[in-house]
Structure 1
Amino acid sequence: MKFSTKLGLWFFFCILIIETGSMLFLHQNVVHSLVDNEMKSLLARGDSHRDVLEETFTDNTLQHIVLMESKTDTEVVVTDTSGRVINSSIAINNEIKSIIAPISNNNQIIETDWESQPYIATASPFSSNSGESGTVFMLKSTSQMKGLITDLNHHFGIAVIIILFFLVITNLVLVKLLTKPLVSMKEATKKINEGDFTVTLPVISKDEIGELANSIQTLASNLNYLQQERKEFLASISHELRTPLTYIRGYADIGQKPHLLDTQRMEYLKIIHEESIRVSTLLEDLFELAKMDQNSFSIVKEKIKLGEFLQLIFEKARPVFSNSGIDLQFYIKKECYVNIDPLRFEQVVQNILDNALKYSDGGTTTIKLSKQDNTCELTISDEGKGIPEDQIPYIFDRLFRVEKSRSRLTGGVGLGLSIVKEIVDAHEGELKVSSKIGVGTTVSILLKETQNK
């Protein structure tokens, strides 16, 4: 059974139960109020006749009362204290006799069973100023009430039919409106399952259905992005592997020529060696990223005095920068302690310094450690070529390179910063990059300080 059918039936039966209960409750209350008003009206009429008889008890008064009731839909019977009928607007039969039995001195309703009895009745005892006593009985045929309630039931039946009609129409319209976006989402997920991630879902509401549509749209967009990224990734990997392998194969073929000079052969072997290292480095980086994706790489944190840790890295890197004509400087504004994996975090710093070395032509590269509140900030700034502002958001994407030529002379393959980002995230740190063409690039890493205890 379809969800729309289930929803429609559920909604229909819920409203039907509510409407049925409401109609039954209303019907019972209307009938009860109607009967109650009739009883009170009948009793009030009897009390009015009683008051007249108590003031003036004469044959003319009795005749007048009987005459009045003979012109209405009610009947009157006046009896004395022994139950003998003094006057009446109706012929006395056994049914009437069973009703006008002697009662106490209080006015009261003596017959309320309008469903099975022929009359409802009230009794109003009187005691006149001239000494006569008795009871004024008021009777009303229940056939009239039954007819009135039958009409009422008829009107209620028509109302129920009209309500059910509009309930069905409203149910169909509401179910269609509610399930229409769900049907659209079903079609969208079907396309996603078939590999089509270009689906679009309009978010026309801010309720749970709108949130679901927005989530599916976001999922489709992310999958489409990942699909495009995978294609670009495979194309980039193919290019990165093809280039060094072409060099290795080409120079290996040349190196096998018998009449080649030893100096030339050694030069070609050196190129083959460099390209093999390049391939090995690429594969190691890919293997590292694969482990990160699978959460299988290990992070072993320990409390480190960050200034001393960076000082060691600075000492190792300074000769390399010096040989390239770059002045590497290190400043500690304020020492702080952090929980990090020393090996992994050294890889982060070395990758950033490696980029500064590759894309700087002289100038100064600065390592700076500072602290604000409970946050340690490591900043590495260079005076290199800089990065275009529109490309900064993508520099942590895998195989992304600002230099599109992918020349052998312009550095790595675009995996270093991806690894940096993954490791910093694993340390629950924050990575920021700012850059300006021709001025340089600044990379900042924010880490939460650990109490020195």
Structure 2
Amino acid sequence: VAAVALMNRFCRRYVYDRITGPIGQLERGVEHVAAGDLSYRVDYRGDDEFAPIARSFDQMAQGLQDAAAREEHEQRARQELIAYISHDLRSPLTSIRGYAEGLLDGIVTTPERQRRYASRIVAKTEQMSELVSQLFLFSKLDLGDFPHQERRCDLADLARRLVEKSGDDYAQRGIRLRLGTCEPAPAMVDASLLERAAGNVLENAVRYAPGCTVTLAVSSGADGSRLTLADDGPGVPQDALPHLFELFYRDDPARSAQKGGSGLGLAIVQRAMAAMGGTALASRTPGGGLTIELSFPPVDAQPAGEPPASGQPADEQPTNKKGEVSAR
């Protein structure tokens, strides 16, 4: 009888420990998380009915920790955005005020200097307008609130139109646009938004690779269609490539400060591509320079009898000796 009683006490104690031990671990985990320690993990090593509960708790804690980290990162990004925009708006405003006061105070007396001051005011106003426009676009894309409608189009036609429409303007601003190989490449895109993204890439080349040639090429394959913009400028360091699409990232802050710019351009490119279901990738151009690849997932084949997308055929474009189309 004594042996049976002793065995019963042992069994009760064993069962009690098996139950209260894991419960105690979960209670401590709840207390830590409730106190804000989202890094705490139960890390239950048993293989019983409590194991799934402990794993679920650890997964919940990890999810909360990740969400808190994202919120902190977004909050820091918002603060940086406000700081950068405030600085970038203050600079042209200060210049405008100085030029305007010079005109009002009668310091500038000759018609030639008056025109020069007035033209500088206009230039600074345009700079502010572009900054506000970029900020508006970035905010809408970042919130997922930018209106866009994807339609099937040929990226080759879009590249040709971009070079035809903007080649002369960019030539006057110091870079040359040319078309490389442009094979038919269907994609579901918002043409206006894609042109804006490509335009931001070209603006980046104007600012950081003056005098370069930017080659636009289009290709397609089983994995989708791609529009690449490759310049032959100085390029960027290899370790900077993964960060180019980050908000306000500068691989050389001193050089970037001299060149100006809102710091929003390539961040807008990345978000515009994401809005259309595509991706943006940066790499080094063989021989030197920067290449931005805008990729889209594959779409169904062109339905029979459907008219081709608008755009001038490639064989009607001016070509060089290699058969590549160039902007003039």
- TM-score tier (shorter): 0.7 to 0.9
- Alpha-carbon distance in structure 1 between the residues aligned to 2:242 and 2:128: 27
Whether 1:220 aligns to 2:220 is no
Q: Report if aligned partners of 1:403, 1:410 keep a CA contact under 8 Å in 2.
A: no
1:362 is aligned, of 211, 232, 246, to 211
2:265 is aligned, of 393, 416, 433, to 416
Q: Report if aligned partners of 1:376, 1:448 keep a CA contact under 8 Å in 2.
A: yes
2:90 is aligned, of 229, 242, 245, to 242
CA 1:251–1:348 in structure 2 vs 1: closer, same or farther (change >3 Å)?
same
Residue 229 of structure 2: aligned partner: 380
- Alpha-carbon distance in structure 1 between the residues aligned to 2:162 and 2:89: 31
CA 1:430–1:449 in structure 2 vs 1: closer, same or farther (change >3 Å)?
same
Q: Report if aligned partners of 1:384, 1:438 keep a CA contact under 8 Å in 2.
A: no
Q: TM-score, normalised by structure 2?
A: 0.79
- Alpha-carbon distance in structure 1 between the residues aligned to 2:42 and 2:251: 36
Q: Report if aligned partners of 2:225, 2:295 keep a CA contact under 8 Å in 1.
A: yes
Residue 425 of structure 1: aligned partner: 274
Residue 304 of structure 1: aligned partner: 153
Structure 1 residue 385: deviation in Å? 2.5
Q: How does 1:12-51 map to 2 (within 5 A)?
A: none
Task: Give the number of aligned pairs.
Answer: 292
Whether 1:319 aligns to 2:171 is no
Q: How does 1:289-300 map to 2 (within 5 A)?
A: 289-300=138-149
Q: Report if aligned partners of 2:178, 2:214 keep a CA contact under 8 Å in 1.
A: yes
1:452 is aligned, of 278, 302, 312, to 302
Q: How does 1:137-286 map to 2 (within 5 A)?
A: 151=1, 156-188=4-36, 200-201=39-40, 204=43, 207-261=55-109, 262-286=111-135
SS of equivalent to 1:188: coil
- Per-residue Cα deviation, 1:285-312 (whole angstroms, up to 9, x for no partner): 2222222233221111222122122111
Higher-RCO chain (CA-CA 8 Å, sequence separation at least 6): 2
- Alpha-carbon distance in structure 1 between the residues aligned to 2:123 and 2:174: 23
- Alpha-carbon distance in structure 1 between the residues aligned to 2:225 and 2:286: 28
- Alpha-carbon distance in structure 1 between the residues aligned to 2:93 and 2:261: 16
Taking only the aligned residue pairs, the percentage that are identical comes to: 25
- Per-residue Cα deviation, 1:207-243 (whole angstroms, up to 9, x for no partner): 3333233223322322332233233222212211111
Letter in 1 for 2:262: V
Residue 58 of structure 1: aligned partner: none
- Alpha-carbon distance in structure 2 between the residues aligned to 1:259 and 1:356: 38
CA 1:314–1:245 in structure 2 vs 1: closer, same or farther (change >3 Å)?
same
2:177 is aligned, of 328, 341, 355, to 328
CA 1:363–1:203 in structure 2 vs 1: closer, same or farther (change >3 Å)?
farther
SS of equivalent to 1:283: helix
Q: Report if aligned partners of 2:231, 2:285 keep a CA contact under 8 Å in 1.
A: no
Structure 1 residue 183: deviation in Å? 2.3
Structure 1 residue 156: deviation in Å? 4.5
Which has the larger Rg? 1
CA 1:403–1:158 in structure 2 vs 1: closer, same or farther (change >3 Å)?
closer
Q: Could you list the runs of 5+ residues in structure 2 that have no partner in the other structure?
A: 46-54, 304-328
- Alpha-carbon distance in structure 1 between the residues aligned to 2:286 and 2:95: 33
Q: Report if aligned partners of 1:433, 1:444 keep a CA contact under 8 Å in 2.
A: yes
Q: How does 1:329-348 map to 2 (within 5 A)?
A: 329-348=178-197
Letter in 2 for 1:447: F
SS of equivalent to 2:68: helix
SS of equivalent to 1:399: coil
- Alpha-carbon distance in structure 1 between the residues aligned to 2:193 and 2:151: 12
- Alpha-carbon distance in structure 2 between the residues aligned to 1:279 and 1:427: 28
CA 1:333–1:234 in structure 2 vs 1: closer, same or farther (change >3 Å)?
closer
- Alpha-carbon distance in structure 2 between the residues aligned to 1:414 and 1:403: 12
Structure 1 residue 402: deviation in Å? 3.7
- Per-residue Cα deviation, 1:14-38 (whole angstroms, up to 9, x for no partner): xxxxxxxxxxxxxxxxxxxxxxxxx
Q: Could you list the runs of 5+ residues in structure 1 that have no partner in the other structure?
A: 1-150, 190-198
Q: TM-score, normalised by structure 1?
A: 0.58
Letter in 1 for 2:295: L
Letter in 2 for 1:251: Y
Q: Report if aligned partners of 1:303, 1:340 keep a CA contact under 8 Å in 2.
A: yes
- Alpha-carbon distance in structure 1 between the residues aligned to 2:187 and 2:286: 33
Q: Report if aligned partners of 2:155, 2:227 keep a CA contact under 8 Å in 1.
A: no
- Per-residue Cα deviation, 1:147-185 (whole angstroms, up to 9, x for no partner): xxxx5xx76555434433443344333322233233222
